[in-house]
Structure formats: structure tokens, C-alpha cells
Amino acid sequence: MSARHWSWAAVPLVFFMAWPAIAGKPLVSAAWARATPPGATVAAVYLQIDNTSGRADRLLSLSSPVATSSEVHRTSVEDGIARMREISALHVAAGEVVEFAPGGLHIMLFGLSKPLVAGQSFALKLVFELAGVQPVTVIVRED
Ligand SMILES: [Cu+2]
């Protein structure tokens, strides 16, 4: 086989191998939190993760300068009582859009240094197993 044949054969392989790097990262958007009453030390954040990266990933941890710790929770109703469970590693399939919304998935902030005031915003970092740190700005709303 000539050198010319080899180079043509290599083209599809190179595209395939480069694809995850081109496809990039899960898109985190529409982040918001409800304003908190004075003295409150916990808050919930809602957002959307659109995994356009072309590969499954996992959300492993979160951090924000406004809270001492944060966790992913899922609210479910069992025997008529709403309960929250922590999800230590949230699996996000390739192509999946994960919606965090009141009554379901949410991010819980603990140890708020001050109340969240409507109209303000704060930073939140999501740490994915493969995509690494994905920052998002959270808008505080009245409702
Ligand atoms: Cu919670």
C-alpha cells in the first residue's frame, strides 16, 4: 500500500479520536435560587445541565463562595411526606438534559454567609468527573 493510501485511511480515525475534545463540556444554564428570609442558612438552586459533550459524565461536587457546603438533592414524596435525599454522584448520560426544579432535583446550599437577595447573583462551580469544573452564575429571584 502506498503512503497516499495510508493517509486517506487515517482521516476518519483522526476525526473519531478528536471528537470528545471538540464536543466539549456539559452546558450548565438557567441557574436560579429563591431569595431567602433573614437568618436563613440554607437555600436551593435550580438549573439545567445539557450534556452535549457526547459522553456520559457524573456531577461529583459543587462549591460556592456564599455557602460553606453544597449537595445535590432529589425530593420525592413517600407516604405523603416529601423527603430529600442526597445524590453523591449524579449520572448524566450523553445527550441527556437534566432539569433541576422545585419539587425534584435541586442543589442545596448550607451555611449561607448572608441572605440571598432578589436581583443579586452569585457564583457556583459544578465539578464533573470528566469535564472538570463548570462555573455558572446563579440569579436570585423572588419566586
Ligand atoms: Cu435539599
Domains and CATH numbers, the chain: 24-141 (2.60.40.1890)
* C-alpha 111 to ligand 1 mean position (Å): 13
Model pLDDT, residue 45:
98
* C-alpha 131 to ligand 1 mean position (Å): 24
* C-alpha 11 to ligand 1 mean position (Å): 49
Q: Where are the beta strands (DSSP E) in 5-68?
A: 27-34, 42-50, 57-63
Q: Three-class SS string for 92-110?
A: ECCCCEEECCCCCEEEEEE
* C-alpha 77 to ligand 1 mean position (Å): 13
pLDDT in tens, the chain (143 residues): 555 555 555 555 555 555 545 557 899 999 999 999 999 999 999 999 999 999 999 999 999 999 999 999 999 998 999 999 999 999 999 999 999 999 999 999 999 999 999 999 999 999 999 999 999 999 999 97
State which residues have CB under 5 angstroms from ligand 1, the bound ion.
Answer: 73, 84, 108
SS3 label, residue 20 = helix
- Residue 103 zone, left/alpha/beta (φ > 0; ψ -120 to 50; rest): left
Residue 114 one-letter amino acid: K
CB atoms within 10 A of CB 62: 20
